[in-house]
């Protein structure tokens, strides 16, 4: 204590102390910024509608969010394996999900599924997003439906 204290008293002027603190702060902030930017590049998940997948193609295995309406009459279940078709009116894609679907998963309703396209072109969902309320439709789904001219404000798929 006494030695390091003596060194500090001699060697560290007021200005140097301040500089050391500011340099330390700067370093941490720079590292954090680098971390955030790297994470933003690698960890974000893009949102696609079936039409966008059909038009642009998505790398198999890449993690994406798929959004649209669950096609009427397309949901089948065998044991815990669920199969349903996600459509935006123009294109559709078959999705598979193993497990229990959220309470508000219905045919004709909006859905957002997280997962990846398989080599066969089908979509395997790792997570189907639940909703609090039947009127709630993810904004991305609304936009995608509007883009396809399939949007009906009351969510009534007649």
Partner 1 sequence: MTIEIGHFSLILASALALVSAFGGLVLWRRGERLAAILAQSALLQFLLVGIAFAALVQAFVVSDFSLALAANNSHSLKPLIYKISGVWGNHEGSLVLWILILVLFGALVAAFGRRLPDDLFNLVQGTQSLLVAAFGAFTLFTSNPFERLTQPPLEGADLNPVLQDIGLAIHPPLLYAGYVGFSICFSFAIAALVSGRIDQAWARWVRPWTMLSWIFLTLGIAMGSYWAYYELGWGGWWFWDPVENASFMPWLAGTALLHSALVMEKRNALKIWTIFLSIITFSLSLLGTFLVRSGVLTSVHTFASDPTRGLVILTMLAVLIGGAFLLFAMRASALRQGGLFAPISREGALILNNLFLATAIGAILVGTLYPLLLDALVGTSISVGAPFFDLTFGALMAPLLLVLPFGPLLPWKRADLVAAGQRLMGAAALAVFLTILISALGGISISLAPVGLLLGFWVLFGSFAEIIERARIGRIPARESVRRLMGLPRSIWATALGHMGLGLTVLGIVSVTAWETELVTTLNPGESAELAGYEITFEDFAQVPGPNYMADTGIFAVTAPGGQVAHLHAERRSYVASGMPTTEAAIETYGLSQLYLQLGEPLADTHVLRVWHKPYILLIWIGTLVMSGAGVLSLTDRRLRFGAPKQARRHSIEAAE
- Which of residues 6, 7, 24, 122 is near partner 1 by CB under 8 A? 24
- Which of residues 47, 66, 84, 88 is near partner 1 by CB under 8 A? 47
Q: Which residue has the tokens 């991305």?
A: 140
Is residue 134 at the binding interface for partner 1, with CB under 8 A as the rule? yes
Whole-number Å distance between alpha carbons of 126 and 105: 15
- Tell whether residue 136 is among the known ligand binding residues: yes
- Which of residues 10, 11, 15, 44 is near partner 1 by CB under 8 A? 44
- Tell whether residue 110 is among the known ligand binding residues: no
Q: How is residue 153 written in tokens?
A: 């404000």
Whole-number Å distance between alpha carbons of 20 and 10: 15
Give the residue with the Cβ less far from partner 1, 64 or 85: 64
CB of 94 within 8 A of CB of 75?
no
Q: How is residue 132 written in tokens?
A: 């609090």
Query: Annotated binding site for heme, which residues?
Result: 132, 136
- Binding-site residues, please? 132, 136
């Amino acid at each position: 204590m006494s030695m390091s204290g003596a060194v500090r008293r001699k060697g560290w002027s007021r200005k140097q102390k301040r500089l050391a603190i500011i340099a330390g702060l700067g370093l941490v902030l720079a590292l954090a910024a680098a971390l955030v930017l790297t994470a933003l590049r690698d960890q974000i998940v893009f949102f696609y509608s079936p039409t966008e997948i059909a038009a642009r193609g998505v790398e198999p295995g890449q993690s994406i969010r798929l959004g649209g309406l669950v096609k009427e009459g397309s949901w089948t279940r065998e044991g815990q394996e669920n199969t349903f078709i996600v459509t935006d009116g123009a294109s559709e894609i078959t999705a598979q999900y193993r497990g229990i679907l959220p309470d508000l998963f219905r045919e004709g309703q909006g859905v957002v599924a997280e997962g990846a396209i398989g080599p066969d072109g089908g979509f395997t969902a790792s997570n189907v997003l639940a909703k609090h309320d039947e009127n709630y439709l993810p904004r991305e789904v609304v936009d995608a439906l509007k883009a396809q001219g399939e949007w009906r404000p009351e969510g009534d798929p007649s």
